[in-house]
Structures are given as C-alpha cells and as structure tokens.
C-alpha cells in the first residue's frame, strides 16, 4: 500500500522508480517528521545506499518538488515530503526558543501577498515561527516567579 503511494509520488513528479528514491521516500514517509540527510541514512540502516547516493537522491527529489527543505537546524537542512504543503506555501514550522524543538504545523495557512512587493514577485512562502511550545509554556507556569511578598 505504501509502496503504491510512493510509486504515485514518483509517477506524478515524472521521476523513474529507482531503489534509492523509493528507499528515501519510504524513510521520510514512515518517519513522519523532517530528517537531515544523515538521519535519513541512519534510519535506512546498514542497507543504506552510500551517503553520496543519499545526498544526490535527495537533491533530485527536492528539484522535482517531491521533497521540501523544511527548515535549517544547526546549519543543516531538514527534509520532508511535500504532500502536506500547498503549491505556493509550505506549512509553517515552529521552533521553541526554550527547548529548541521544531514542530510541523500542517493545515495552517498564513495570508500571502497577492501582488508584487516593492516590485518583487512572490511565488512561494515558507513561514518560520518562534516562541514557547506547550510543554515549555506549562513548565514556565510552575516555575515560581519572584514575588514581592517573599523577599
């Protein structure tokens, strides 16, 4: 079942079905979270094609629009399947400034400028949010704040 949807993804992108492409797509699909190239190779395990092949495969899938660059983490791109993004907008990503975790926010659309901005025509929008995640938010409520009543 999963293999047939990977086949569909490759067919609709006009890409030939090769073993590394299938393996990389399957890894991203089953992980369900963005992964770096190294993480993809780690997830595949001992049967992984060599790193160069993994990198080239991802480059091909990115230029075909099948895989998206989700966000940068420690100067490394994190990749995910583009199936939860619309044509002109990737779903936003939220990075918690306290714990550093980044979460996907699929289904959230941010209004995009409809016309050119200062003469620049916008074709795609990638939104990166920062703030406190629910876990850190609830923890910060339990941290006793300095109160004027107890010096």
Residue 133 binds Zn ion, judged by CB under 5 A: yes
Does 112 bind Zn ion (CB under 5 A)? Our answer is no
From the list 7, 51, 63, 99, which residue makes contact with Zn ion (rule: CB under 5 A)? 99
CB atoms within 10 A of CB 51: 12
Instruction: Indicate the residue among 51 and 131 with the shorter CB distance to Zn ion.
Output: 131
x-or-dash string of contact with Zn ion, 65-84, rule CB under 5 A = ---x-x---------x-x--
Residues 6+ apart with CB under 8 A from 67: 24, 25, 28, 58, 61, 79, 80, 81, 82
Q: How many CA atoms lie within 13 A of 9 on its CB side?
A: 25
> Smallest distance, Å, CB 46 to Zn ion?
28
How is residue 107 written in tokens?
């289904």
* Contacts to Zn ion by CB under 5 A: 68, 70, 80, 82, 85, 90, 96, 98-99, 104, 133, 136
């Amino acid at each position: 079942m999963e293999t047939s949807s990977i086949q569909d993804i490759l067919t609709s992108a006009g890409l030939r079905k090769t073993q590394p492409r299938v393996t990389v797509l399957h890894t991203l699909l089953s992980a369900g979270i963005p992964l770096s190239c190294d993480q993809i190779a780690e997830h595949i395990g001992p049967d992984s094609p060599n790193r160069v092949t993994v990198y080239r495969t991802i480059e091909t899938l990115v230029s075909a629009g099948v895989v998206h660059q989700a966000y940068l983490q420690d100067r490394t791109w994190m990749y995910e399947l583009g199936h939860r993004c619309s044509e002109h907008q990737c779903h936003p990503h939220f990075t918690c400034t306290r714990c550093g975790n980044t979460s996907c926010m699929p289904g959230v659309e941010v209004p995009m400028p409809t016309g050119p901005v200062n003469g620049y025509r916008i074709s795609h929008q990638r939104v990166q949010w920062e703030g406190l995640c629910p876990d850190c938010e609830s923890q910060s409520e339990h941290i006793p704040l300095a109160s004027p009543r107890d010096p």
